Structure 1
Amino acid sequence: MTTTPRGIVVAINPSAAFGRGSAVGAQVVSALRTAGLEVTALSEPSFDALVAATRHALDLGTSALVMVGGDGMVNLGANLLAGSSIPLGIVPSGTGNDTARGLGIPLDDTDAAIAVLLDALTRPPRVIDAARVGAPGGPQRWFVGVLAAGFDAVVNERANLMRWPRGRSRYTLALLRELAVLRPRRYRLVLDGVESQTDAMLVSVGNNTSLGGGMLVTPNALLDDGLLDVLVVQPLSRLAFLRIFPRVFKGTHLTDPRVAVHRARTVSIDSEGLVAYADGERIGPLPLEVEVVPGALRVLAP
């Protein structure tokens, strides 16, 4: 016997954007209920409790899961829904909001983002790729956006420990602080079975275009092409790095001959002493294996 999913689950990160998420969540729930939809609203005191509550709500049945927060909440939603038929909705209220940005969901305008969500609920969901990542032979996690595995990951780790400033400028400040110890790393890469070794300042694996609140590290990446964009930045002096960095926000750094992008379905990446981040979340130390899964995720987006 088939049962009908009961309404929509809305998971809220109340601490997103230093507390803004709670107010945005209440606005989302109110708008959905005003539209005549049955809503189960979840807001827990800890992230682990929110994961457990969301998983339980999904087990009971739902027609959609809406995440209110930043890229960490989107990552949670992707890990709960990838490979399923339940669509993921996003109302951005975090610091980076890079997945929402790549999907064309309005940022810094909750009313507009809710309008997009309500419209998307009336149409078939958009189908996009997601990527699986994990240590060789170990458990795997999903991500939607960009995996950072070099200087960008080091900056991400510092930025996540900072409480000020907010938004994209926090990543800029973290980057400037890490420049003091900037150095190239030796990488071993395997792209679709082809191995290479190279010295690089950073390596990023993009399913989406940006990280860190709009840094277009892989500006030509597409969410539905079945490929990952692998960015490799060759060794640079601090001065050269500072000259290239502002161009990342516009995605024009790819014209520099010391910057290369390769496309692959599977990526193995290793470098001593480095930790990777994906969707702004700490994944773990290298080596890691990444695989894109075409059409793994359904989203409520334009």
Structure 2
Amino acid sequence: MKTVDTKLPPQRVKLIFNPGSGANDESPLQIMAVVKEMQARQLIPELYLIEPDSNLQEVVDEAIAQGIELFVVCGGDGTVSSVTKALYGSAATLGIVPTGTRNNIALSLGIPTDIAAAVAILSEGQRLKIDLGLVICNGVSTPFIELCSVGLFSTLFPAGDDIQHGNITRIGDFLGILTTAPPSDIHLFLDDNQEISELGHAALISNMPYIGRNYKVGAPDAYHDGLLDVMFFADLSKLDLINYILTGVGTDNPEDPRIMHYQVREMVIDTEPAMAVMADGISLGEGSVRIKVQPQALSVMVGATASHEGQ
């Protein structure tokens, strides 16, 4: 068993815990384990439990004003994304103890789901500056750490996410959307003056190598290469798209040649009729969007298996 250096100076940490992530009945044990491991490493957690009406921006701003520099998120991708938005523009550092359903962000950054190993990264890992994406939709700018989607995936996500978390009453809603959603004329304007126009149902813009059900869609260093990965599902049927949701894109399954791949620093997407836009699971409305990368916009504690090239 590895001996923890208790001579390290104590460090105040804001521990933001989402009791609704993963298996809810495990939350009490998880939080006890996290606090115990942090205290053993001279990390002094100031605990905040997320509730439905929580204002994380206020929580983060108040903690920064009190001199806290490390914010540890204990939850899934949605919780990590929410805290990321609150930290955007600050000099604070994000730590992650993944307890969610998919944990794509932690997987991408080399952070294990084992609580002791994840907490160890907070004191023994590397502080790395990673990229974020920024979506401008309807005049509002929204940062994202994992994924922006335009089209059918955005429309299906709320019902699909409820079903994945056990609410089978949303199956009817999911099938209804799938049956009635029309394709749109989708126009991509890329930052190399390239324009693509196709009839289709969806486009995905990723900042992380893993999305969805842990599907690998980008290079290991996708989160700090200064680029966003674009997947344009041109002229695929809705059944084709659902098949990819179930079997994965970028896995060992042969990829449909109709899927177009691009890397961009900035792009504009116009759709007619207007399609739904979502960033990290949050609806941003419908219409034209401008998406651009924000290089090295967030400091994160990452694991040894994360890709650090170029740092």
TM-score range relative to shorter protein: 0.7 to 0.9
Q: Is the 8 A contact 2:73 2:95 kept in 1?
A: yes
Residues 162-214 of structure 1: CA deviation (Å, up to 9, x unaligned): 47439xx9999997775434643211222115443221221000111233331
1:40 maps to 2:46: yes
Separation of aligned partners in 1, 2:195 and 2:59: 43
Q: Give the letter for the 2:137 counterpart.
A: A
Q: Structure 1 residues 240 and 196, CA, compared in 2 at 3 Å: closer, same or farther? A: closer
Partner residue in 1 for 2:248? 248
Q: Secondary structure of 1:38's match? A: strand
Which stretch of structure 1 is more off in the superposition, 67-76 or 251-260? 251-260
Corresponding residue of 1:135: 137
Helix, strand or coil: the match of 2:120?
A: helix
* Residues 201, 85 of structure 1: alpha-carbon distance in 2 compared, 3 angstrom cutoff: same
Does the C-alpha gap of structure 1 residues 126 and 61 become closer, same or farther in structure 2, counting only changes over 3 Å? Answer: same
Deviates more, 1:248-257 or 1:58-67: 248-257
Summarize the alignment of residues 61-72 of structure 1 with structure 2, pairs less than 5 Å apart. Answer: 61-72=67-78
In 1, Cα distance between equivalents of 2:52 and 2:174: 29
What does residue 36 of structure 2 align with?
A: 30
Report the Cα distance in structure 2 between the residues aligned to 1:59 and 1:170, rounded to whole angstroms.
44
SS of 2:39's partner is helix
Distance (Å, rounded) in 2 between the aligned partners of 1:215 and 1:28: 28
SS at 1:199 equivalent: strand
1:212-231 map, 5 Å: 212-216=212-216, 218-220=217-219, 222-231=222-231
Evaluate the alpha carbon distance shift between residue 75 and residue 44 of structure 1 in structure 2; reply closer, same or farther with a 3 A threshold. Answer: closer
Q: Tell me, yes or no, if the aligned pair for 2:151 and 2:203 is still in contact at 8 Å.
A: yes
Shift of 1:55: 2.5
TM-score calculated relative to the size of structure 1: 0.83
**Structure 1, unaligned runs of 5 or more:** none
Q: Is 1:9–2:8 an aligned residue pair?
A: no
Q: Secondary structure at the match of 1:256?
A: coil
Residue matched to 1:190: 189
Find the residue that maps to 1:231 and give its secondary structure.
strand
CA shift in 2, pair 1:210/1:149, >3 Å: farther
Contact 1:71/1:96 (<8 A) preserved:
yes
Residue number in structure 1 paired with 2:309:
none
Number of aligned residue pairs: give it. 291
Select which of 126, 131, 135 maps to 2:128.
Answer: 126
Q: Is the 8 A contact 1:11 1:54 kept in 2?
A: no
Distance of aligned partners of 1:171 and 1:69 in 2 relative to their CA distance in 1, 3 Å threshold: farther
1:115-139 alpha-carbon deviations (Å, 9 max, x no partner):
333322xx4x012111111225x23
Q: 1: distance between equivalents of 2:210 and 2:171?
A: 14
Are 2:137 and 2:284, in contact at CA under 8 Å, matched by a contact in 1? no
Distance 1:170 1:226 in 2: 41
Deviations 1:86-121 (A, max 9, x none): 2100111122221112112113x223322333322x
Whether the 8 Å CA contact 1:155–1:171 is kept in 2: the answer is no
Q: Secondary structure at the match of 2:65?
A: helix
TM-score, normalised via structure 2 length = 0.81
SS of residue in 1 equivalent to 2:186: strand
CA RMSD of aligned residues (A): 3.1
Partners of 2:77 and 2:169 in 1: how far apart? 15
Q: Look up the match of 1:57.
A: 63
Gaps of at least 5 residues in structure 2 are 1-9, 304-311
Query: Which of residues 83, 87, 90 is equivalent to 1:84?
Result: 90
Q: Quick check: 243-252 or 152-161, which moved more?
A: 243-252
- 1:98 equivalent in alignment to 2:104: yes
Identical-residue share of aligned pairs (%): 26
Answer 1 or 2: which has greater strand percent.
Answer: 2
Q: Say whether 1:75 aligns with 2:74.
A: no
- SS of 1:75's equivalent in the other structure is helix
Which deviates more, 57-66 or 26-35? 26-35
Q: Report if aligned partners of 2:142, 2:279 keep a CA contact under 8 Å in 1.
A: no
Distance change (3 Å), C-alpha of 1:240 and 1:7: closer
2:283 is matched with: 282
CA distance in 2: counterparts of 1:91 and 1:195, whole angstroms: 41
